[in-house]
Amino acid sequence: EKDIYILGIETSCDETAASVVKNGKEIVSNVVASQIMSQKRFGGVVPEIASRHHVEQITIVIEEALAVAGLTPKELDAVAVTEGPGLIGALLIGINAAKAFAFANGLPIIGVHHIAGHIYANMLMQPMEFPLLAIIVSGGHTELVLMEEHGAFTLIGETRDDAAGEAYDKVARVLGLPYPGGPQIDKLAAESDGQVEFPRAWLEPDSYDFSFSGLKSSVINYKHNLEQRGGKVNPAHIAAGFQASVVEVLTTKALKAAKEFQVKQVIAAGGVAANKGLRASLEEAFHQEEIPFYVPPISLCTDNAAMIAAAGSAMFLDGIRGNLAMNGKPGMPL
Ligand code: KG4
Ligand code: ZN
């Protein structure tokens, strides 16, 4: 059988990325141009600036992905690009580059949902088994998704306010840590010799939804009250307490969902899945229940194009094709 090579392109937020994936599971090249230095200066992602970076980087990144793969455009089978959700200006840079590339080289184009991409990052590590539970935790998402088969996504729980990564970034800012705050808090929490007790947002007993804005407010109030009384803030203790609350709620709800839907596999995805505390907690919980649990390596947890190419490969094999009328969908449903 002929090998299938898909070029993936991802520009939904702040990483300009291109990758070639073979047969939906083997990374041939994986190029990511990060805008992290620029965001550190501004304390976060500024949409207009992100778009400008994408414009500067996209052609270089695509050419490098092909060069590393040692393939000419004609040797590809399709181009897969993030269609949404994300920042509209950022999405459009990737989509227009994908359209131009597909048109110039006579290739089909496939629009991929960013979260489907995060989930399919796991295809690059091991075959997916259904029913499958995906825990998606990133800067823009906190979702529990049930998959009965390839391409079939059922949302069973989501955040009602801040995404988990957003909460990490906001708490980090309160503690005066640089952007992005997730890795900083993770590190502080791991080294901490104690922790402040913060509340857990369980919501209704039967709900798989999440809420993190109350926790964020608790952290702010705790720090404010302590400073008012002339106390000295211990950032590590706050980081550890905050992380313990996030990790316990995520682990408990994910475990309950995995049992209720009798899934054969649980995977975690998204930038926050890089969190050491969360990984350890999920690994232990699912190990005890003997439910196979996987998290891709960190480089495949944070935004990248290999995951888009992997999801695009599964769609390609399903016969799904987009067309050149494709537009960015900032609020694209899964
Ligand atoms: O998936 P991602 O790269 O981009 C989005 O689609 O949002 O996730 C980025 C988010 C940021 O909020 C960042 O702070 C968080 O993931 N993050 C972490 C860690 N590494 C990245 N959060 C907690 N612990 C980490 N180690
Ligand atoms: Zn993402």
Q: What pTM was computed for the model? A: 0.93
pLDDT for the residue 223 = 97
Question: Which of 39, 91, 138, 334 for a ligand 1 pocket mutation test, highest count of atoms within 8 Å of Cβ?
Answer: 138
Mutate to test the pocket of ligand 1, among 168, 170, 216, 299 (most ligand atoms within 8 A of CB): 168
CA angle 84, 273, 5 (to 5 degrees): 55
Same structural domain, 262 and 141: yes
Q: Is the pLDDT of residue 146 over 80?
A: yes
Asked whether residue 74 falls in the same domain as residue 168, the answer is: no
Does 157 show up as a binding residue in the annotation?
A: no
Query: Considering every ligand atom, which ligand is closest to the CA of 186?
Result: 1
Residue 308 lies in a domain: yes
322 annotated to bind ligand: no
pLDDT-derived band at 35, boundaries 50, 70, 90: confident
- CA proximity to 184, closest of 124, 238, 245, 254: 238
Q: Computed from CA positions of residues 281, 284, 290, 296, in that sequence, does the dihedral angle turn out positive or negative?
A: positive
CA neighbor of 168 nearest in space, from 150, 151, 157, 180: 180
Cα–ligand 1 centroid distance for 194 (angstroms): 24
Q: What is the pLDDT of residues 263-289, one digit of tens each?
A: 999 999 999 999 999 999 999 999 999
Q: Is 275 in the pocket of ligand 1 (CB under 6 A)?
A: yes
Do 166 and 32 have their domain in common?
no
Helices (H), 121-234: 164-174, 181-191, 213-228
In a domain, 324, yes or no: no
**Is the C-beta atom of 212 inside 6 A of ligand 1?**
no
Mean pLDDT of 247-259: 98
Confidence of residue 127 (pLDDT cuts 50, 70, 90): very high
The domain that contains 30 carries what CATH number? 3.30.420.40
How confident is the model over 75-93, as pLDDT tens digits?
999 999 999 999 999 999 9
Q: How confident is the model at residue 32 (pLDDT cuts 50, 70, 90)?
A: very high
Please check whether residues 116 and 140 belong to one and the same domain. no
Mark whether 183 and 266 lie in a shared domain: yes
pLDDT for the residue 3: 97
- Tell whether 206 is in a known binding site: no
The residue segments making up the domain with residue 273 are 130-295
**Atom 13 of ligand 1: nearest residue by CA position:** 182
ipTM entry: 0.98
Contact 296 CB / ligand 1 (< 6 Å): no
Residue 167 belongs to some domain of the structure? yes
Flag whether pLDDT at 40 surpasses 80. Answer: no
Average pLDDT over the chain, rounded to whole? 95
Say if residue 154 is in the same domain as residue 38. Answer: no
Query: Based on the domain organization, do 191 and 215 belong to the same domain?
Result: yes
Question: Does residue 97 have a pLDDT over 80?
Answer: yes
Angle between helices 164-174 and 181-191 (to 10 degrees): 70
Spatial separation of the C-alpha atoms in residues 10 and 303, rounded to whole Å: 8
Asked whether residue 327 is domain-assigned, the answer is no
Answer yes or no: do 180 and 71 share one domain: no
How far apart are the C-alpha atoms of 189 and 240, rounded to whole Å? 4
Report the domain count for the chain: 2
- Of residues 268, 252, 31, the one with CA closest to residue 165: 268
Ligand nearest to the CA of 302: 1
Whose Cα sits closest to atom 3 in ligand 1?
Answer: 302
Mutate to test the pocket of ligand 1, among 272, 278, 295 (most ligand atoms within 8 A of CB): 272
Is 45 part of a structural domain of the chain?
A: yes
Q: Is 86 in the pocket of ligand 1 (CB under 6 A)?
A: no
For residue 159, how far is its CA from the centre of ligand 1 (angstroms)?
15
Mark whether 42 and 155 lie in a shared domain. no
Does 109 lie in the same domain as 146?
Answer: no
Coil, strand or helix at 22: strand
Residue 23 lies inside a defined structural domain of this protein? yes
Same domain, 158 and 180: yes
- Based on the domain organization, do 270 and 308 belong to the same domain? no
